[in-house]
Structure 1
Amino acid sequence: MAKSLNIEHIALVASETPRAQEAFAELSGQREWVSMDEADAVVVLGGDGFMLHTLHAMLDAGRVIPAYGMNLGTVGFLMNRYRNGANLDKRLAKARAMAIAPLRMHAVTQTGATCDWRAINEVSLLRETRQTAKIEVSVDDRVRIEELVCDGVLVATPAGSTAYNLSANGPILPLDSQLLALTPISAFRPRRWSGAILPDRSAIKFRVREPEKRPVSVVADQKELRDIAEVSLEIARENELTLLFDPGHALDERIVAEQFVT
């Protein structure tokens, strides 16, 4: 899963925050940058949200290159520490390449419209009104929970297991675990069900019950679709992404370390 890369042509992108724009201005004159279309890799300045935005933009464009993030946001779980560009070439030469595969989501709305998205962190189903949601949960064509009464439910990848999933008391998954986290959000019935850890070869399906009274939306990372009828999920192995990390700061080690934070 981890390897070193030989990178020559690099693109530079930054979020719109003042800190990221200051870093962009500082780095812009320190080397010759190329466009995303010409690059072997991209340096991403910002936080985790902007990294997700950049990765999704690559998926949408149909050209995926390794991404090396430098944190100028809040958490920066997907990022490296920010330093000026003096040693950037050396950092990239020593960086470890970590492969992550997003979720493929197929959703059908109550009107029959369909939507296909990718999610790098998680796909979440959420109630739209004060009424609790009622959701049927199936795994590999077998109904596992006929009626989950809850505020919502989510499926997280290992890369996303420390994001919303962790806030919902879901498990942290090592990056190479080949697992998915299926986590309820404020489950009322079954009250004692705390979720499941599934092989990432699993096909997961949610069906909304009583949708007129209990409408549900679905969120795939940063995109939302309302009034859904059902959602199907599986790993999109053909859309594998590559994140670059400094030695000792790789995402797999950070996922392990996060479990010992007190």
Structure 2
Amino acid sequence: MSSDARALVREAAERLRAAGVASPDHDAAELLAHVLGTTRSGLALVTELPAAALTSYDALVARRAAREPLQHLTGVAWFRHVELAVGPGVFVPRPETELLAGWAIDQRPGVVVDLCTGSGAIAKAIADEVPDAEVHAVELDPAAHAWAERNLVGTGVDLRQGDLRTAFDDLLGTVDVVVCNPPYVPLEAWESVAVEARDHDPHLALFSGDDGLDAIRALAVRAAELLRPGGVVGVEHADAQGSSAPAVFAAQGSWEEVRDHRDLNDRPRFVTARRALGAGATGE
């Protein structure tokens, strides 16, 4: 293995590229920066590579080549302006979800509920950028809830463990914004899921029935119960659900202004809707 930082990163990137890693150059540099306790830009200033660091780096590159998520190897994921601790047992937040969080932040909510909070990413971002907001979050899975507890310490977020279908009875009819990145992968799409997600993210955070819409159907009902009339909901979905996810809200009976939003790659990414004035919260 080379002892020159730039050459080392190039060699590692080739290993990762051959293994099918989607961002080999970025990941190779990020792992070396992690080992050396610096940043990717700081690698340009590295003049010495201790033998122990070379050994650690080689082991991490091998694990990344085996498609272990980068964030599991570094223990950190960045989401908008906040840092999150992540690892086995919790869904690693994706950059696409930052757009959904940004939409919620733009509403300048007084009271906001983050359902299926996972690592606490959306709740923490909202608390960070709308410090006057009253933020509530819930997670069903005990392992993921433990990560959220760690990430939300000191943020003022009211974190609970429970099911999105029944959480926050004490907030019924009072919430300004409900936001959620639910499980939405169809069971039949197992083989198409990236190895990093399929083998390392909790399946509870990925899969949601035969068509991937089971959680979204439940959410359309619960959000209508939680929101005040005129309140809004935002829900992430798969890019193949740009029509079917909005259709869930259009058919549910409590919603108006149902519209879909695209991500930075121009793919359908999340649906928003407004709680109709005077509408009852009913199922399909």
TM-score (norm 1): 0.29
Higher helix proportion: 2
Calculate the TM-score normalised by the size of structure 2.
0.28
Tell me: higher relative CO, structure 1 or 2? Use CA pairs within 8 A at least 6 residues apart: 1
* Greater share of strand: 1
